Amino acid sequence: TILKHVRPSLHDLKPYIPGKPIADVQRELGIDNIIKLASNENPAGPSKRAQEAIQQSLFDLHRYPDGGQVVLKSELAAYHNVSEDMLLIGNGSDEVISFFCTTFLEPGDEIVVPSPSFSEYKFASTLMAGRTVEVPLGEGFEYDLNDFANAVTDRTRIVFLCSPNNPTGTYIRQSDLEAFLQRISPEILVVIDEAYNEYVEAPDYAQGLDLLKKGYNVAVMRTFSKLFGLAALRVGYTITKPEIVNYVNRVREPFNVNHLAQVAAVAALHDEEHIEVSRKVNSEGKQALYEGFRRLGMKYIPTETNFILVDTGVDSKELFQALLRKGVIIRDGGFFGLPTWIRVTIGLPEENTRFLAALEESVKEMK
Ligand code: PMP
């Protein structure tokens, strides 16, 4: 049969199941006024300046995008105070994760990842017939980087650290990261996925960029999908050493980031008003949800991101359905191996209030 020659590594691969789109729920349940707190999107919406930049670019749709991503790279280089040859831009940071695995993994090579964490690392390594070594996070989902150093073998090619981590919201501390990098062979790439970096409030958070600038083999990953509110456009990027960019760039399709995405990203990067509002909505919403969870007697993990992991004490799959019937979409912790937990994105004030009321009611129904 034709399937005989499908690559064996694909047998174990399951397609990624994203947070349920609003339109799907509307169609299935026939209800309006649905709120989606499932995919860690920015509830304040996209940057107006990005929207305007797109409007103005609609006349250029017949042209190919800038394959060298020159303007966006030069803006990002200035923004981060790095040289342009340290940047590589992807169709979302999802694509950048794939780039790293495609560049570094031969069949049987290993990546080391936290657990629970973002599923894309394992997906990308499996695609290259790589092995994924999962390191459990500690009590309260704290990082202990000694466990990561101990998981490294002579087949390890990449260590993926997600900080702050999805779905836990926990982060790596400055002093811990440098000690870890000192222990790790310089032949291993340490990718620090900082998708939620712009939300961090903790003063002892390890900025991957500082360690890159000190000369360690670090690749920092950032995205425009979260604080910058451009998830639909798919723009993520890495900052790393030019020699690494030089190779990773060989696996990139020439026009991987479309034109509208590039112009919108440049505009959003400088939209101070949007950035400020987005941060404010998040930090106020965080406090409101913390208070709600305390009132309900639910244990939550303090977060440095735009989402919160909370132990509801009931079956999260059932709870997911109960909330869905009330028009609230969240992420079921079962997906991460946490069957009584849910991950909820911090929303607008009225969304948080409605979520908390729906949560209280659903849990009562289930008990
Ligand atoms: N890394 C982490 C930790 C994430 O949570 C996400 C988004 N869910 C991504 C990467 C992917 O983001 P992007 O939209 O840039 O592909």
The string of pLDDT tens digits covering residues 126-141 is 999 999 999 999 999 9
Ligand 1 binding pocket mutation candidate from 40, 101, 225 (most atoms within 8 A of CB): 225
Crossing angle of helices 349-366 and 316-325, in 10° steps, is 120
Shortest-distance atom of ligand 1 to CA 236:
15
Distance 313 CA to ligand 1 centre (A): 27
Taking the C-alpha atoms of residue 279 and residue 275, their distance in angstroms, rounded to an integer, is: 6
Shortest-distance atom of ligand 1 to CA 165:
3
Distance 169 CA to ligand 1 centre (A): 13
Of the pLDDT bands very low, low, confident and very high (cuts 50, 70, 90), residue 22 is: confident
Considering the domain 48-269, what is its CATH architecture?
Answer: 3-Layer(aba) Sandwich (3.40)
Two structure tokens written together for 317: 């799959």
Two structure tokens written together for 112: 């080391």
pLDDT at 27: 85
Q: What's the whole-number mean pLDDT along residues 160-184? A: 97
Of the pLDDT bands very low, low, confident and very high (cuts 50, 70, 90), residue 318 is: very high
pLDDT at 345: 98
Q: What is the pLDDT of residues 221-261, one digit of tens each?
A: 999 999 999 999 999 999 999 999 999 999 999 999 999 99
Tell me the pLDDT of the chain averaged across its residues: 96
| Domain extent listing, the chain | 2-45+273-366, 48-269
Query: What's the first-to-final CA gap in the chain, in angstroms?
Result: 51
Under DSSP, the state recorded for 5 is: G
Q: Under DSSP, is residue 146 helix (H, G, I), strand (E, B) or coil?
A: helix
Distance 177 CA to ligand 1 centre (A): 21
pLDDT at 201: 97
Q: What's the whole-number mean pLDDT along residues 193-220? A: 98
CA angle, 191 then 203 then 279, to 5°: 85
Of the pLDDT bands very low, low, confident and very high (cuts 50, 70, 90), residue 212 is: very high
15 pLDDT higher than 90? no
- Enumerate residues 6+ apart whose C-beta is below 8 A from 322: 362, 365, 366
pLDDT at 252: 97
Taking the C-alpha atoms of residue 206 and residue 197, their distance in angstroms, rounded to an integer, is: 10
Under DSSP, the state recorded for 210 is: H
pLDDT at 19: 76
Taking the C-alpha atoms of residue 28 and residue 20, their distance in angstroms, rounded to an integer, is: 11
Q: What is the pLDDT of residues 275-297, one digit of tens each?
A: 999 999 999 999 999 999 999 99
Shortest-distance atom of ligand 1 to CA 231:
14
CA angle, 290 then 42 then 245, to 5°: 115
pLDDT at 30: 84
Under DSSP, the state recorded for 311 is: E
Ligand 1 binding pocket mutation candidate from 36, 41, 93, 304 (most atoms within 8 A of CB): 93
Nearest protein Cα to ligand 1, atom 2: 195
Of the pLDDT bands very low, low, confident and very high (cuts 50, 70, 90), residue 108 is: very high
Is the sign of the CA dihedral 258, 260, 264, 266 positive or negative?
positive
| Cβ–Cβ under 8 Å, residues 322 and 365 | yes
Distance 114 CA to ligand 1 centre (A): 15
Taking the C-alpha atoms of residue 319 and residue 97, their distance in angstroms, rounded to an integer, is: 32
Taking the C-alpha atoms of residue 54 and residue 264, their distance in angstroms, rounded to an integer, is: 6
As for ligand 1, residues whose beta carbon falls within 6 Å of it are 40, 92-94, 118, 162, 166, 193, 195, 223, 225, 231, 236
Distance 230 CA to ligand 1 centre (A): 12
Distance 343 CA to ligand 1 centre (A): 15
Tokens 């790790």 -> residue: 184
Of the pLDDT bands very low, low, confident and very high (cuts 50, 70, 90), residue 24 is: confident
Residue 158 CA to its chain's centroid (Å): 18
pTM of this prediction exceeds 0.95: yes
As separate numbers, helices (DSSP H) first and strands (DSSP E) second, the chain gives 13, 13
Domain 2-45+273-366 in CATH 3.90.1150.10:
yes
Nearest protein Cα to ligand 1, atom 6: 195
pLDDT at 290: 98
Q: Tell which residue, 49, 52, 45, has the closest CA to residue 270.
A: 49
Q: What is the pLDDT of residues 81-95, one digit of tens each?
A: 999 999 999 999 999
pLDDT at 100: 98
Of the pLDDT bands very low, low, confident and very high (cuts 50, 70, 90), residue 26 is: confident
Cis check for the bond before 114: say yes or no (omega within 30 of 0).
Answer: no
Residues pairing with 190 in the sheet: 159, 218
Q: Tell which residue, 175, 176, 218, 228, has the closest CA to residue 197.
A: 228
Q: How far is CA 274 from CA 50, 89, 270, 280, in A?
A: 10, 22, 9, 10
17 pLDDT higher than 90? no
Ligand 1 binding pocket mutation candidate from 123, 226, 257, 303 (most atoms within 8 A of CB): 226
